[in-house]
Structure 1
Amino acid sequence: MIYIGVTGWGDHHSLYPPHIKPKDKLAEYSSHFLTVEVDASFYAVQPIKNALKWVNETPDQFRFVVKAYQGMTGHQRTDIPFETKAEMFQAFKESLEPYQQANKLAMVLFQFPPWFDCKKENVNYLRYCKKMMGDIPIALEFRNQSWFSEKYRSSTIHFMKEQGWIHTVVDEPQAGDGSAPTVPVATDSNMTLIRMHGRNVHGWTRPKNAETNWREVRYLYKYNEKELLEWKEHVLTLAKSSKDIIILFNNNSGGDAAGNAKDFQKMLGIEYEGLSPKQLDLF
């Protein structure tokens, strides 16, 4: 099955009726799409009550991609509220239990930072992550092009297959070392993840301490029909190697992600069954 959605559910205003309350947005979101990325889990290990609420607000067919906590991927190196890595991983795994019990956990996404390059130390850390996560499906996204350089590309793909990582295929600006190329290869026969970040090179490379909030410009991009048609071919090819494909649009600095996701759904001729009912009146 091909699942199409977006990253997060809070800021996609085109999906919601006016004056909708934040607490009602996920239920309304699931009347449009059957998958979403949970990004709150990147900033803090979420309390179980949050996952329970989200699971209960979505239909049976809904699937969550939960982003790994930033301490697990090396984005946050100080002030981590855990004494050991083992404690951190254990707390994160416990936070996943409601998704697992409801059969709504598609995977956990490990997105590594631009400075996480292809070297022995980092390869060993990936092995450690896989060991700590056990049989939980985990996806791997790189933000450093060295992993797919001519020297290491085949080894990286072989490693992911051997270790049981789900490949996160990306579309993003090609902006030097701190970006990864599109490598439309499946490493897991059950699942492949695709994340669409847009192609705004200038926004991608803007310093985080710039006057304008970097998040407001980094993902400022709207995919055109030609670009989506290119991705249609990628998706149909990948679907021959993976049973399920999850596609998440992250190009939302200008509010374009949900619209592009809808466009892509139509382009692929997909009509989802089992969505939540739309709310006609909100008070």
Structure 2
Amino acid sequence: MARILVGTCGWTDRALMTSGWYPRGHRDTEGRLRYYAGRFPVVEADSPYYALPSPGTTRLWAERTPAGFRFDVKAHSLLTGHPTRPAALPADLRDRARDDGLLDEVWARYAEALEPLRRAGRLGTLLFQFPPSLAPGPRAEAFVRGCRERARDWPFAVEFRNPAWWRAGQERATTALLAGLDATAVAVDTAQGLPTSMPPVAPVTTTRLSVARFHGRSPHWGTGGKEDRFRHGYTERELAGWLPRVRELAARTDEVHLLFNNCCADAAARAAETMRGLLDVTVPRQAGHACHEPI
């Protein structure tokens, strides 16, 4: 049976920081991460999607977390084909042409920034979340293969935001594509019945790792602002419905990451705690990372 790690998609979300989830004495930069790592064994680092971190920053992430802790790190927006503002790039790259040469340079800096996590054994996977505009087809497959080639020596996970990749008739080809690339297919939980709803499939494409991201079940998924798209409080019954799929993933992979992205107030943290209880997962503890209750 795999090691099942439950956590949230980020630990510095503004809504979480103002929710009261972090107790007094643990609200500074270092205190937040140490407190989080005392409660959960995995987190998604989403800030590199918006701006490249420095190796010094990720070195501190490693130092402030216990052995066995995992960071799943989102790829920078330019690397995944999302619209990217010049301000999201390093200053010396903002006037460069948006071509393969720029992608290669951004990848090189991204990889350099994450090397401290890999050396410390803290890196779970890179997460390449592709935009809804990336629909199945030869050009899209070539783009995904190009991303994998840059990251050929790294753990690599793929989340598609276009539902067509996982619909009946395409699902088998998508699974084969990712398996051939040794890429983890990211399962997602969203509201169903919407044009942008992601099919609730959970394929296994590597034996190393499975990942599921829980985005909430807002009827505004795919539209509106962040508060509309991700506002949802998971019920125990909704999460229990995932248990058979999680057990199946765990039976076929070495490690399973369950990450909650319903990031309004502390809803993601509360859902992660509920899921952990349902799975009876024990969170690893280490001296200096004690669990403190909010006050």
What TM-score do the two structures reach when normalised by structure 1? 0.91
Distance 1:164 1:262, change over 3 A: same
User: Higher mean Cα deviation, 158-167 or 272-281?
Assistant: 272-281
| 1:211 counterpart residue number | none
Q: Distance in 2 between matches of 1:26 and 1:94?
A: 22
1:2 to 1, 4, 9: 4
SS of 2:251's partner is coil
Displacement of 1:78 in angstroms is 5.1
Q: Distance in 2 between matches of 1:258 and 1:232?
A: 18
TM-score between the two structures when normalised by the length of structure 2: 0.88
2:46 and 2:192 mapped to 1: Cα distance?
A: 24
Cα distance 1:90–1:265, how it changes in 2: closer, same or farther (>3 A)? Answer: same
Q: CA deviation at 1:132?
A: 0.4
CA distance in structure 1 between the aligned counterparts of 2:178 and 2:127, rounded to whole angstroms:
14
**2:34–2:65 CA contact under 8 A, matched in 1:** yes
Equivalent residue, structure 2, for 1:20: 26
- 1:201 is paired with a residue whose SS is coil
Asked if the contact 2:6–2:272 (Cα under 8 Å) also holds between the matched residues in 1, the reply is yes
Unmatched segments (≥5 aa) in structure 2: 97-101
- Per-residue deviation at 1:134? 1.5
| Contact 1:249–1:261 (Cα < 8 Å) also in 2 | yes
| C-alpha RMSD of matched pairs (Å) | 1.9
| One-letter amino acid of the structure 2 residue matched with residue 174 of structure 1 | Q
* Aligned CA distance change for structure 1 residues 229 and 49 (closer, same or farther; 3 Å): same
Offset at 1:150? Answer: 2.1
**For the Cα contact (< 8 Å) 2:44–2:71, is it kept in 1?**
yes
Task: Describe how 1:222-237 pairs up with structure 2 within 5 A.
Answer: 222-237=233-248
Return the alpha-carbon distance in structure 2 between the equivalents of residues 229 and 128 of structure 1: 37
| 1:74 Cα deviation from its structure 2 partner | 1.4
Identity %: 30
AA partner of residue 123 (structure 2): L
- Are the equivalent residues in 1 in contact too, given 2:5–2:281 (CA < 8 A)? no
In 1, Cα distance between equivalents of 2:153 and 2:22: 36
Cα shift at 1:15 = 3.7
Aligned-residue offset at 1:151: 2.5
Determine the C-alpha separation between the residues in 2 that align with 1:19 and 1:277: 13
| Alignment match, 1:62 | 69
Q: Does 1:73 align with 2:77?
A: no
In structure 2, what is the equivalent of residue 210 of structure 1?
none
Higher relative contact order (CA 8 A, sep 6+): 2
Which deviations, in whole Å up to 9, do the C-alpha atoms of 1:217-267 show, x marking residues without a partner?
211101112111111111011111111000001112242111111111111
Segments of 5+ residues of structure 1 without an aligned counterpart are 208-213
Determine if contact 1:146/1:177 at 8 Å carries over to the other structure.
Answer: no
User: In the alignment, is the contact (CA less than 8 A) between 1:34 and 1:63 conserved in 2?
Assistant: yes
**Superimposed CA distance per residue, residues 97-135 of structure 1 (whole angstroms, 9 cap, x where no aligned partner):** 110110110100000111111121110011101100122
Tell me, yes or no, if the aligned pair for 1:14 and 1:258 is still in contact at 8 Å.
no
Cα distance 1:14–1:21, how it changes in 2: closer, same or farther (>3 A)? closer
Choose from 211, 217, 233 the match for 2:228. 217
